[in-house]
Structure 1
Amino acid sequence: MPRFHCSIPLQSGVALALPDAAARHVQVLRLQPGDALTLFDGQGGEYAATVTRMGRGDVQVQVGAHVAVEREAARAVHLVVGMPANERMDWLVEKATELGAASIQPVAAARSVLRLAGERADKRQARWQAVAVAACEQCGRNRVPVVHAPLSLADWLAALPAAPGDGLGARLLLSLRAGSRPLAQAAGAALAVHVLHGPEGGLTVQEEDAALARGFAPVSLGPRVLRAETASVAALACLAL
């Protein structure tokens, strides 16, 4: 059954017009009055619904029963990623969403090829958030991970709160430096994890040192050097599946 994210709050028994993005998707699929679909608004669970009207520019639905189903990972994994160039960030956001990322923070580091600011940054953030929504529709997630506005790595680290000391969180830095522990071992039983890694070319020694000073521990995914987007997928597969 087709699934659609609804950007307005849902309630059983209510008739409503779908938001533009969802309505366009329904129209592309050529659904007709009487066809069933599933809606979710990101607040938890999903709703059965039925198309009641297909207009030229709008789609009306009747919202049915709420199903309190969740498909989130047991551990909240927050990715902090040095933005890869070209369309690789789109791919990273899509796959990270499918694998259960709780949030994604794009950062620009010293070796970053992609650098964003102003209106260009706003447009990319909106695009990446839309990619996350589409991935949720496909994979069955009912909570959409937030794709935060791009920041410089220095600014993001400076705004980071003090490292948690309650055993419920971990800060892990993907690193090739000697003494890095295996990722899963370092994460232990932490219920929330921030995973930081660099762009193409990795982070500089100075950037890694700055992260370590903010409570990050160096960890490894093994002896091979992975692409930036592959590192995110591998870390999530290890921590969230």
Structure 2
Amino acid sequence: MRRIYLGTDIFRKKDSFYIKGETYHYLKNVLRLKKKDIFIGFDGSGREYIIEILEVGKNEIAGKILEEKEVYSTELPFDLQLFQCIPKGEKFDFIIRETTQLGIKKIIPVISKRVIVKIRREKIETKLRRWQKIAEESAKLSGRTLVPEIMFPVKFEECIKEKKDFGIIFWEGERNFTLKDFIQKLKEENIKNKKINVFIGPEGGFDEEEIKLAKNYGYYSISLGKRILKVETASIVALSILIYELENL
């Protein structure tokens, strides 16, 4: 059965509702759904519904909730947040797409000292809508019930202060503490429902002052190994290992 992201607002009325805009176009012109067709709609906050199409109009589709579907949770038992320094080109799109599939809860674009990308203020909202759409599509394809929230870009020195239970910052200059060491430490803790903040640098990495500041706020500086990885590779590798080792503790 088709599974479509519809957001939370549309489900405020528990009986019937209307689908408009891009989702209307997708259902009508791409999937070519018709009256009495049934699909699964999910709201991105953990709920799924079996929906019947009542009518397909010129600008909207009328739908009806047949039942709330029992959801098998695919979400992580802990709150994993990615603080990703903004890389060049379309790398950030790729990172959002792949880390959403891995189970990330929230993605915060970070502006650190070595970030080259300059996003003009008037284009930020457009970027955020695009990034959020990528997260929605990736969540749908990977069978997630939650859609990660893509936050407004924040300067490094501000977001490093955000509250967390555990925090790590990956740095190619680290020689003494590895991801394996950090995972071993977490295995000795109860991490269920705990918030883990993960910082990944831009091209050129973090500078030593940023690492020092992070440590002052309780972050572990961590090495990913002897070789320097590209930004998008580091994000996928680091989160994949973390999730694999910690998900079933």
Q: Give me the TM-score of the superposition, normalised by structure 1.
A: 0.89
Structure 2 gaps of 5+ residues are 245-249
1:172 is aligned to 168
Structure 1 gaps of 5+ residues are none
Q: Aligned partner of 1:59: which letter?
A: I
Give the 4+ runs in structure 1 shifted more than 3 A: none
2:6 corresponds to 1:6: yes
Q: Aligned partner of 2:170: which letter?
A: L
- Report which stretch shifted further, 64-73 or 174-183: 174-183
2:247 is aligned to none
CA deviations over 1:153-177 (Å, ceiling 9, x no partner)? 12322x424xx5xxxx210011122
2:239 corresponds to 1:236: yes
Matching of residues 190-229 of structure 1 within 5 Å: 190=191, 191-229=194-232
Aligned residues: 234
Q: Aligned partner of 1:174: which letter?
A: F
1:181 is paired with a residue of what secondary structure?
Answer: coil
Shift of 1:11: 6.5
User: Distance between the aligned counterparts of 1:31 and 1:160, measured in 2?
Assistant: 45
User: Distance between the aligned counterparts of 2:33 and 2:156, measured in 1?
Assistant: 45
Shift of 1:12: 8.8
2:21 corresponds to 1:20: yes
User: Distance between the aligned counterparts of 1:49 and 1:11, measured in 2?
Assistant: 14
Residue in structure 1 matching 2:103, options 100, 104, 108: 100
- Report which stretch shifted further, 6-15 or 129-138: 6-15
CA deviations over 1:39-84 (Å, ceiling 9, x no partner)? 1112322111122222221112111211231210123210001111
Q: Give the fraction of aligned pairs with identical amino acids, expressed as a percent.
A: 25
User: Distance between the aligned counterparts of 2:103 and 2:235, measured in 1?
Assistant: 11
Name the Cα RMSD after superposition.
Answer: 1.9
User: Distance between the aligned counterparts of 1:57 and 1:184, measured in 2?
Assistant: 54
User: Distance between the aligned counterparts of 2:63 and 2:172, measured in 1?
Assistant: 53
Q: Aligned partner of 1:18: which letter?
A: I
- Report which stretch shifted further, 7-16 or 221-230: 7-16
2:115 corresponds to 1:112: yes
Residue in structure 2 matching 1:89, options 82, 88, 92: 92
2:130 corresponds to 1:127: yes
